[in-house]
Amino acid sequence: MASLNPLLSGAERPARSTLLQVGAFELWPAARRLRLRGKPVPLTARAFDVLAALALHHPGMASKRALLAAAWPGLVVEENNLQVQVSLLRKLLGSNAITTVPGHGYRLNLPVSGGHGVAVEELPPPAAPLLGRDRDLADLGDMLRQHRLASLLGAGGVGKSTLARHAATGAAAAAGLAVVWADLAECAGPIDVLETVARAAGADDTAAVPLARHLAQRPCVLVLDNADRVAGDVAGLVTALLAHAPPVRLLVTTQVRLHLPEEQVYRLMPLAVPPAGCTLQAALQYGALALLQARAHGHDHRFALTEATLPIAIALCRELDGLPLALELAAARIPALGVTEVLQRLCDHWLLLKTINGNGPARHRSLADTLEWSFRLLDPPAQALWCETAAMPPWFSLDDLMAHRGGSDGAATLDLLGTLVDRSMLTFEAGRTPGYTLSACHRAFALQKRSAHGAGTPVSA
Ligand SMILES: Nc1ncnc2c1ncn2[C@@H]1O[C@H](COP(=O)(O)OP(=O)(O)O)[C@@H](O)[C@H]1O
Ligand SMILES: [Mg+2]
């Protein structure tokens, strides 16, 4: 069976019988055959996979990651292996047949016809199954079916990108659409946003309207991941897409809302934590415990929760508020410390805040980095209010906060409070009195910021 890029959704993969005409060559991806004027052309399996992936991404660029995943699925290999296959292909197809896009990947320069060469930035490989999100997956899928623009809003590390990956793939497959994935984490302004989306979509023109028209011809679910820092610029592009690319469905992951009238907001909450006293079997049905168990087992195959360690593990999940990134970092400490010690050491939240997550992006390197990223997204008055709330009782009411702030402008405080809840820096439980609280990790981080800047003085990024 052909090992075409497994990251592409079914809708993007040619059907078994699809023939692609690549220049003068006939490429049969499913049969793994390459022919020239009816005669078979010998090609190594790896070179074949690279060529098939290049053709599939045509006329766009195929990223190095996509090509490596296509030719060495599931393996970690050096990039020079890819260069070797590309030079083999250049010898066969002609030296100008494949262009190097420096630092990013390769583009096939031959005409491709017959299949659908969909230009897509591949979905990041789902590192592990999605745990504890059945309901969210179904609800977000419904939202994507019914609305053109969904924003997945939630705290850093709560699992937005992970859920978006699964939801976009599911929604695209159900509607026969492709998935285009643009990671905006490194973007600093409107040009970066346009260029990143154009690159992901294989568009040459990076102006908003032509880009929208290009996407209109490729019905897809477009995921704009990590829009936090450029939410205003993303809102501008999204407005053009809504007007000029009617078939495109948009899923934005962000801590900062776009504030567009068409925006449907899906607020992603942390994973569910089992109640104390639950049996082991029942507890593993809760996302937070399932994730802790899975990651701890990944770090040490001998690890298994028992009825004896279960209460401690549940307490640990509760202390970490079911936040997936925090659970993963805590699980990384379990082989050396054990569950009990990790829980005890959590009083010193810095153990966790500073635990290094080697594989993650820079803002997920540690919980402190994630919180710093979120903190910097706030304006100084919101930063200051957040640090103040950390010094309040664990649960507080609006009246408590107003009293605490003395003569401060009440209307301004209400606005800031709304921002903090929107950004998941504060939790508000409707129906609970008092209803506001900070998670334990947030509190530890905010207190640290507060003492670094001196209580009562304004805090700035
Ligand atoms: N439902 C889940 N099942 C398994 N792992 C998850 C889940 N949600 C999040 N994770 C893991 O938690 C970490 C943070 O998730 P991520 O999606 O990057 O968060 P966000 O995009 O909200 O910052 C990642 O390493 C991810 O693999
Ligand atoms: Mg993310």
Could you tell me if 170 and 241 lie in one domain? yes
Closest ligand 1 atom, residue 158 Cα: 22
Q: Is residue 28 part of a domain?
A: yes
> What's the token pair of residue 202?
């294989």
- Cα separation, 179 vs 218, in Å, equals 10
In the β-sheet with 149-153, what is the strand arrangement from edge to edge?
178-183, 220-225, 249-254, 149-153, 264-267
Residue 328 CA to ligand 1 center (angstroms) comes to: 9
Q: Which residues neighbour ligand 2 (ion) by CB within 5 Å?
A: 160-161
Could you tell me if 59 and 99 lie in one domain? yes
pLDDT of residue 74: 79
pLDDT of residue 352: 66
pLDDT of residue 205: 78
Residue bearing the CA closest to ligand 1, atom 24: 325
- DSSP states of 278-328: --HHHHTTSHHHHHHHHHHHHH-TT----TTTHHHHHHHHHHTTT-HHHHH
Residue 449 CA to ligand 1 center (angstroms) comes to: 26
Main-chain phi, psi angles of 221, to 5 degrees: -95, 115
Strand partners, 61: 107
Determine which helix (DSSP H) or strand (DSSP E) holds 447, and give its type and residue range.
helix 440-453
Question: Which parts of the chain register pLDDT below 70?
Answer: 1-19, 30-31, 38-39, 114-128, 347-360, 454-461
Could you tell me if 74 and 178 lie in one domain? no
- Cα separation, 395 vs 389, in Å, equals 10
> What's the token pair of residue 121?
């930035």
- Please name the residues in contact with 448: beta carbons below 8 A apart, sequence gap of 6 or more: 350
- Please name the residues in contact with 356: beta carbons below 8 A apart, sequence gap of 6 or more: 365, 366
Task: Tell me if residue 53 falls in helix, strand or coil.
Answer: helix
- Cα separation, 200 vs 186, in Å, equals 14
Could you tell me if 286 and 406 lie in one domain? no
Residue 15 CA to ligand 2 center (angstroms) comes to: 32
**Binding pocket residue ranges, ligand 1, CB within 6 Å:** 127-128, 130-133, 154, 156-162, 253, 287, 291, 324-325, 328
Q: Is residue 437 part of a domain?
A: yes
Main-chain phi, psi angles of 412, to 5 degrees: -65, -40
Antiparallel, parallel or unpaired: β 436-437 and 149-153: unpaired
- Cα separation, 3 vs 397, in Å, equals 57
Strand partners, 437: 395, 427
Could you tell me if 104 and 215 lie in one domain? no
> What's the token pair of residue 220?
């897809």
Q: How many domains does the chain have?
A: 4
pLDDT of residue 14: 33
Residue 74 CA to ligand 2 center (angstroms) comes to: 22
Closest ligand 1 atom, residue 370 Cα: 23
Could you tell me if 165 and 247 lie in one domain? yes
Closest ligand 1 atom, residue 155 Cα: 22
AA identity, residue 332: A
Which ligand has the shortest distance to the CA of 181?
A: 2
Q: Which of 147, 245, 158, 268 is nearest to 197 (CA)?
A: 245
> What's the token pair of residue 324?
């997936």
Strand partners, 173: none
Q: Which residue has the tokens 């957040």?
A: 386
pLDDT of residue 457: 52
Task: Tell me if residue 141 falls in helix, strand or coil.
Answer: helix
pLDDT tens profile 310-353: 999 999 999 888 999 999 989 988 999 899 988 888 766 666 66
Residue 357 CA to ligand 1 center (angstroms) comes to: 12
Could you tell me if 263 and 144 lie in one domain? yes
- Cα separation, 142 vs 147, in Å, equals 8
pLDDT of residue 165: 92
Q: Which of 415, 437, 413, 435 is nearest to 425 (CA)?
A: 437
The maximal CA–CA distance of the chain, rounded, in angstroms, is 85
Residue bearing the CA closest to ligand 1, atom 9: 159
pLDDT tens profile 16-63: 234 577 888 878 776 677 878 766 788 888 999 999 899 888 888 899
AA identity, residue 270: P
What is the domain range of residue 437?
Answer: 378-453
Q: Which of 199, 192, 248 is nearest to 222 (CA)?
A: 248
Could you tell me if 50 and 153 lie in one domain? no
pLDDT of residue 1: 30
Could you tell me if 334 and 415 lie in one domain? no
- Cα separation, 458 vs 384, in Å, equals 6
Assign residue 417 the CATH number of its domain: 1.10.10.10
pLDDT of residue 5: 32
Q: Is residue 118 part of a domain?
A: no
Which ligand has the shortest distance to the CA of 369?
A: 1
Residue 414 CA to ligand 1 center (angstroms) comes to: 31
